[in-house]
Structure 1
């Protein structure tokens, strides 16, 4: 008797799972066909992708203030250091190092700042920061030559 009850329960469970699976697949097929038959689908998709691309480009752009305005440059410097520290704290090393390298590039006293960062950051992160400095300088000043080169002996 117990065998009969357990086989009935398992067959009911299997049948219910099969019906639910069939309904889900039918739901997916129906809405996929409805989506593809929409004449504006491709236009909407292009607009959505273009909008996402523009948003991403705007995020990556730096809003560098005028270099002649010391207060604005100081605020930008503090903003970049803060962003860099926050990103490093949550484990986003690449973006954190990018922000710190930008902060070092706009800093008027780069050598002193690098000495402080060398003492506070782990060695591998500091090494990555020093490697990113030419790219950050190029991003800010638009020049491929790194005019304020920092030799390793200056940092030690």
Structure 2
């Protein structure tokens, strides 16, 4: 009976120590004078890496006109690359267009009917990664640092 109670107390104490450890080092990290500048540098580096990777630069998702222009450009580039037989690049551009599209399910139905089945499968496998990139780019563009 005492061993169960002792184990519970020990586990609670270890949990409290771990939480205290996390709080202490989080405060220490945030109070570091160079923390914010390092964070900004890391975000700039991620943005530059994204541009170097050849991925299209995403528009401001709050600007409907910019999103529409981006969407049409990506669809056009995807169609041109498909006609040239460059399926990987085609899928990159089409998945970027789908990720900013207002009605992606309808666009996917149209693409399923028009694209060759292997290319459509590549598109379906690529969509989650592109969607994640959109979400991370949107969070990086917001410059609010806690």
Q: Tell me which interval the TM-score lies in, with the shorter structure as reference length.
A: 0.5 to 0.7
Q: Which residue is equivalent to 1:132?
A: 126
- Contact 2:95–2:130, Cα closer than 8 Å, also in 1: yes
Q: Distance between the aligned counterparts of 1:97 and 1:61, measured in 2? A: 11
SS in structure 1 opposite 2:56?
coil
Q: Report the Cα offset of residue 71 of structure 1.
A: 0.8
Q: Which residue is equivalent to 2:114?
A: 120
Change in Cα spacing, 1:76 to 1:90, as seen in structure 2 (3 Å) is: same
Q: Distance between the aligned counterparts of 1:57 and 1:69, measured in 2? A: 20
**Structure 1, unaligned stretches of length 5 or more?**
1-53, 144-156
Q: Report the Cα offset of residue 57 of structure 1.
A: 4.6
Length-normalised TM-score, structure 2: 0.56
Which segments of structure 1 move beyond 2 Å, counting only runs of 4 or more?
56-59
Residues 1-156 of structure 1: matches in 2 within 5 Å? Answer: 57-58=51-52, 60-142=54-136
Higher relative contact order by CA 8 Å / sep ≥ 6: 1 or 2? 2
Instruction: List per-residue Cα deviations over 1:30-65 (Å, max 9, x = no partner).
Output: xxxxxxxxxxxxxxxxxxxxxxxx8x9546143211
Q: Distance between the aligned counterparts of 1:78 and 1:57, measured in 2? A: 20
- Contact 2:71–2:100, Cα closer than 8 Å, also in 1: yes
Between Structure 1 and Structure 2, how many residues are aligned? 90
Instruction: List per-residue Cα deviations over 1:55-105 (Å, max 9, x = no partner).
Output: x95461432111111111000000111111111110111011011011111
Larger-Rg structure: 1
**Structure 2, unaligned stretches of length 5 or more?**
1-47, 138-146
Length-normalised TM-score, structure 1: 0.53
